Amino acid sequence: MDVAIVGLGMHPFGRTPSMSGLEQGAAAARAALADAGTDFKRMEFAFGGSQDSGNADSLVNLLGLTGLQFTNVANGCATGGSSLNAAYSAIKSGQYDVGLVVGFDKHDRGAFNPKPADWGLDDWYGETGLMLTTQYFGMKIQRYMHDHGISRETLIRVAEKAFRNGSLTPTAWRQTALSWEEIKNAPMVSEPLNKYMFCSPAEGGCALIVCRADIAHEFHPKPIYLKTAVVRSRNYGSFEVFSPSQPTEVADSPTVTASQAAFELAGVGPGDIDVAQLQDTEVGAEIMHMAENGFCAHGDQEQWLADGVTEIGGKLPVNTDGGCLANGEPVGASGLRQVHEICVQLRGEGGARQVPNEPKVGYTHVYGAPGISGVNILAR
Amino acid sequence: MPDAKPLHEGLFSWPALSPSLIGSRCLDCGEHTFPSQDACRACSGQNMASADLGNQGTLWTWTVQSFMPKTPYHTDETPETFRPYGVGYVELACGLKVESRLKENTPEELKIGMPMKLEIISVRKDDDGNDLLTFQFCAAEETN
């Protein structure tokens, strides 16, 4: 049984002081149900997640105590990807006909401050100042620039594109385009990445209604088909965050293994993708993920960015809504925002940021600590 | 009389004239880990031995921590006295890359491939005035 996405809902990302994270999740769920022309009573199951805003299944207090199966998902930055993966399996197996996937979060300002014990590490690691994701991102792109000839100009180009696309996206948090000089001269955070090159923890909610492909038109005239949903964790040797040591040989990241599996299962290749969302926790991540997902060779990004290949009008538009950089990262919702945006583009409802020539096949990639990657391939 | 002791036991040899990092080596597949652990990340075996990882290496990658981290960071610094520090992975003779604070803290002083050596530094004082120690790497003299 094929799987379709027939409802899209979002509570705008950014800051909403008047609403809890849970309330933002409920708002997103109601929007998705309305988009699918249905109601919560019709939902047979739900998968949902939030990192800092409580149990997703508390949503039934706001949406209705209907007795449905509601499973909480907690998989770090890949929470949204893992929720959609679970929903995909629930429909694919024939167990259920229609259900809800939802994610939301509301984080404090500033960098995340994870506890070493939650990651299997002793306290010294955090106390001496090594427990920061920002350091890892700086070190990974630093080595990548050294190995593959990526320049600082290319880092700036990615940030420039993100905020320009954000300025075209009504639900984005950062809606002001930034100039080359503003980005270049921003305060340094973790060499070589400065303030405008990182996304920030944020707030927001996102929801999707998922159903059997053969009943999709009962809900929406333009169903988007979820061709495959794959999640992978790290192999020995993959260079990941919160690693006091790394082995001699550097292995492929989980993004590479998830991407390869997804292309194989969907029966398409990188050249078939018309629009993509690639995890851009910072600008270096977007650059590395272009190659890790198979879209170009390592080092080609330098020319691709200079030529505008990943712009909205380019050959492979990437992060058309401004990605994490312009939307911020409410962890539970972020992976679903990517799928939401690809569905909007494939429906042709992107407005000022619509990819031209009626894109047919889309791709989403989420990546998170401590080395998890989720890839979805979607088509209309 | 205040003394000095490791913040966490078993990361480096102490007291020692020339301290070195301590990790473990898998007796089944030969892979090293730092810190020591009793199971192997590579082959899932549980046949591990302690290993002296030495005190020299080359810089594999680096960044600079430019702002004072939130908890669990715990030193005697204040936002006013905080001094940015380098962070990097140092590739040791056995091939293992160990993540470490770096003494050098500006892009001008740090370069991938530069030789590095281990040193022991104080993280903070405990309630009795004892220095709590950890390791960092700093630039080693070039031996041409």
Over the stretch A275-333, which tens digit does the pLDDT of each residue have? Answer: 999 999 999 999 999 999 999 999 999 999 999 999 999 999 999 999 999 999 999 99
Per-residue pLDDT, averaged over A108-119, amounts to 81
Is B11 close to A243, i.e. CB distance below 8 A?
no
Interval A201-239: pLDDT, tens: 899 999 999 999 999 999 999 999 999 999 999 999 999
Q: Which residue has the tokens 């990943």?
A: A310
Give domain status of residue A154, yes or no.
no
Flag whether pLDDT at B144 surpasses 50.
Answer: no
CA A14 to chain centre: 15
Min distance A377 CA to chain B CA atoms (Å): 31
B34 chain-A contacts, CB cut-off 8 A: 244-245
Flag whether pLDDT at A110 surpasses 80.
Answer: no
Bond into B15 cis (ω within 30): yes
A130 chain-B contacts, CB cut-off 8 A: 87, 99-101
Mean pLDDT score of chain A: 96
Q: Please tell me what DSSP assigns to residue A217.
A: G
Q: How confident is the model at residue A154 (pLDDT cuts 50, 70, 90)?
A: very high
Beta carbons within 8 Å of B108's beta carbon, 6+ residues apart: none
Q: How confident is the model at residue A15 (pLDDT cuts 50, 70, 90)?
A: very high
A146 chain-B contacts, CB cut-off 8 A: 61, 112
Q: How confident is the model at residue B56 (pLDDT cuts 50, 70, 90)?
A: very high
Give domain status of residue A163, yes or no.
no
Interface predicted TM-score (ipTM): 0.96
* B12 reaches A (C-beta below 8 A): no
CA B49 to chain centre: 20
List helix spans (H) across chain A: 21-35, 60-63, 79-92, 123-127, 133-148, 152-166, 180-184, 254-266, 283-292, 301-307, 323-327, 331-347
Interval B100-142: pLDDT, tens: 999 999 999 999 999 999 999 999 999 999 999 999 999 997 6
A124 chain-B contacts, CB cut-off 8 A: 7-8, 11, 134
pLDDT at A1: 80
* B25 reaches A (C-beta below 8 A): no
- Tokens matching residue A368: 């998170």
- Identify the CATH number of the domain in which residue A253 sits: 3.40.47.10
From the list A140, A191, A248, the residue facing B95 with the nearest CB is A248
Give domain status of residue A224, yes or no.
yes
* B42 reaches A (C-beta below 8 A): yes
Number of domains chain A contains? 1
Residues forming beta bridges with residue A190, ordered by sequence position = A193, B65
* B15 reaches A (C-beta below 8 A): no
Mean pLDDT score of chain B: 95
Domain extent for A281: 3-108+199-379
pLDDT at A107: 92
Q: Give, in order, the Cα–Cα distances in Å from B68 to each of A51, A125, A132, A361, B85.
A: 24, 15, 11, 44, 10
Flag whether pLDDT at B143 surpasses 60.
Answer: no
pLDDT at A115: 86
**From the CA atom positions of chain A, what is the Rg in Å?**
19
